[in-house]
Amino acid sequence: MEKTTRRKFVKDSMKATVATAIGSSLLTKTAAAGSNGFAYKFSQQPLPYAYNALEPTIDATTMDIHYNKHHTAYVKNVNEAIVAENLEYATEMEFFANASKLSPKVRNNSGGVWNHNFFWKTMKPSGQPPNSKVEDAINGTFGSLNKFKEQFTAASMARFGSGWAWLVIDQKNLKIGSTPNQDNPLMDQSELKGTPLLALDLWEHAYYLKYQNKRNEYVSNWWNLVNWDEVAKQMA
């Protein structure tokens, strides 16, 4: 081997060794993330019905894009950020309890994953009226189911831009409110706090293909899809 070539070979070999060492330490660090050695990864729950099951209220194309593009992207983005930022939270609830400390990417995308998993299961084709326990609770707080719907609709219409409307239970009290972007009532910085019972996606991607600017029509048709059995389950 000629002298300069040999020197270059040694130098390149050393570079490769260093690169390998850095690579494996990164891998070790990722695998060991979390105080309990386990870094939580968000996942997308299967859609509990076919894309066209909520027609005509929510069209199949909207469902397909919403589930496979928007929701899937939140999962990918948050899990990438968890690795990049080496986050140590072990559960979804730990993320939300520390939401004010999260980067915008982690906060927005973790909320995006959870909110949609929740939204899908609180809808069903041809929803049934609430059971007596849920109806009693709603009557007790809002006067009647219709008054509850009016207030929930008003909260949905009052949310400027993108966000979510919610029914939550907080220390046995039912409350209606909304959150901006992909925030939710489990997040520490949220003005509206409580355990979510019902959620409505107010982003234009949830209704624009069918309803365009008519958010009020989307909200008023959506009541036919509410899965009150799931609301009862969350309330228990």
Give the residue with the Cβ less far from Mn ion, 88 or 204: 204
Query: Do the strands 163-170 and 173-180 form a parallel or antiparallel pair, or are they unpaired?
Result: antiparallel
Instruction: Take residue 119 and report the two structure tokens written for it.
Output: 């939204």
Whether 182 and 172 have beta carbons less than 8 Å apart is answered as no
Q: Compare residues 118 and 148 and give the one whose CB is closer to Mn ion.
A: 118
- Residue 64 or 88: the one with the smaller Cβ distance to Mn ion is 64
> For the chain, how far is it from start to end, CA to CA, in angstroms?
78
Cβ count near 131 (within 10 Å): 13
In angstroms, give the least distance from the CB of 201 to Mn ion: 4
Residue 17 beta carbon to Mn ion: minimum distance, rounded to whole angstroms: 47
Q: Among all residues, whose Cβ is closest to Mn ion?
A: 201
Q: How far is the CB of 164 from Mn ion (least distance, A)?
A: 9
CB 40 within 8 A of CB 89: yes
The nearest distance, CB 23 to Mn ion, in angstroms, is 37
Residue ranges binding Mn ion (CB under 5 A): 201, 203, 206
Q: Smaller CB distance to Mn ion: residue 206 or 226? A: 206
Distance in Å, CB of 194 to Mn ion, minimum:
21
What is the smallest separation between the CB atom of 71 and Mn ion, expressed in angstroms?
Answer: 7
Extract the tokens encoding 36.
Answer: 């309990």
Please say which residue, 201 or 230, places its beta carbon nearer to Mn ion.
Answer: 201
Closer residue to Mn ion (CB): 38 or 203: 203
CB closer to Mn ion out of 148 and 164: 164
Smallest distance from Mn ion to CB 184, Å: 12
